[in-house]
Amino acid sequence: MALVDVLAGVLSGSPEEAVARRLDFDRLPKHVAIIMDGNGRWAAERHLPRVEGHRAGIESVRQTVETSARLGLSVLTLYAFSVENWKRPVPEVTALMGLLRHYLRAELKTLLRNNIQFRVIGQLERLSREVREELEAAVDRTRTNSGMVFNIALSYGGRAEIVDAARQALAHGVKPEALTEEMFASFLYTSGQPDPDLLIRTSGEMRVSNFLLWQIAYAEIWVTDTFWPDFRARHLLDAVADYQKRDRRYGAVTSDSAEALK
Ligand code: FPP
């Protein structure tokens, strides 16, 4: 995947094309994680019920998955439903689960065609049997795909994930003195995946909201005021372009600043 693949998915002469042409395909983030936010406010602005914001957000999911795969990302993680979201009114939760099932039915073929491996992370035991079965079927059908990994975080909480990982480590008889960061990470839901390099949040909120708390330790954060239902390929490409301007230091000094200190 590369520039030609991205260009095949955008209109010639469009702003997307201009941003795509400026990207350095040798310095792409491996893993992009997105906090999809603002569906309710998008709906409120249009005097629509909240669920219409979620429904409109499906098209953003579709475009984001496709553009990410065309870019050649290794992993895309979308935060679809948090452990805190269980506190929302039952009709909204039911509608969200229905939209998720609708998405899977409509998009499974696209995931297969694009060699995408679908995964789900979170406390799945809290989901209904019907939703779980449908998710498991999609995970199974795409298991041998070798392209981008697409994680949906569902009934997900970062703290809960860390507690689950600690429990797993104990259950595997890991001795406290033998526990390392790498070993601990192998008990997380994202075991074997690179940590997110880029964390995107829509709707202008400056919070991480209990998302991938361990994994985002060194992620670059990009926030847009755009509500999730208006998020398009262009926004993703803008985020990646901005990421490529960042100076990732991981707590160390860069060669430039080291030079200046001399
Ligand atoms: C946040 O907006 C969004 C969600 C809680 C759900 C996101 C779900 C979807 C886009 C649809 C289903 C997902 C997939 C992956 C098929 P909010 O309701 O918190 O908005 P607000 O902050 O404006 O109220």
The domain spans of the chain are 3-156+194-198+214-245, 159-191
Which fold would CATH assign to domain 3-156+194-198+214-245? Undecaprenyl pyrophosphate synthetase (3.40.1180)
97 CA → ligand 1 middle, Å: 11
Three-class DSSP category at 91: helix
Question: 237: which 2 tokens?
Answer: 């490409």
Q: Would the pTM of this model clear 0.85, i.e. be above it?
A: yes
Residue closest via CA to ligand 1's atom 16 equals 100
Residue 223 pairs with which residues in a beta bridge? 201
Question: 232: which 2 tokens?
Answer: 């398009």
Question: 80: which 2 tokens?
Answer: 């679809």
d(CA 101, CA 82): 17
User: Could you give the C-alpha distances from 200 to 67, 159, 186, 193, in angstroms and in order?
Assistant: 15, 20, 24, 18
Closest CA to 62 of 121, 104, 2, 92: 104
54, 84, 111: residue to mutate for ligand 1 pocket, most atoms within 8 A of CB: 54
d(CA 4, CA 221): 27
d(CA 53, CA 202): 13
Q: What is the pLDDT of residue 12?
A: 87
Q: Which ligand 1 atom lies nearest to the CA of residue 42?
A: 23
42 CA → ligand 1 middle, Å: 10
Residue closest via CA to ligand 1's atom 10 equals 57
CB 42 within 8 A of CB 56: yes
Per-residue pLDDT of the chain (262 residues; tens, 9 = 90+): 678 888 888 888 888 898 899 999 999 999 999 999 999 999 999 999 999 999 999 999 999 999 999 999 999 999 999 999 999 999 999 999 999 999 999 999 999 999 999 999 999 999 999 999 999 999 999 999 999 999 999 999 999 999 999 999 999 999 999 999 999 999 999 999 999 999 999 999 999 999 999 999 999 999 999 999 999 999 999 999 999 999 888 878 765 665 665 5
Give the number of other Cβ atoms within 10 Å of residue 247's Cβ. 9
Q: What is the pLDDT of residue 9?
A: 84
Q: What is the pLDDT of residue 255?
A: 59
Q: Which ligand 1 atom lies nearest to the CA of residue 227?
A: 23
Model pLDDT for residues 61-88, shown as the tens digit of each residue? 999 999 999 999 999 999 999 999 999 9
Which positions are catalytic? 37, 85
Question: 225: which 2 tokens?
Answer: 């005021």
Residue 149 pairs with which residues in a beta bridge? 75, 117
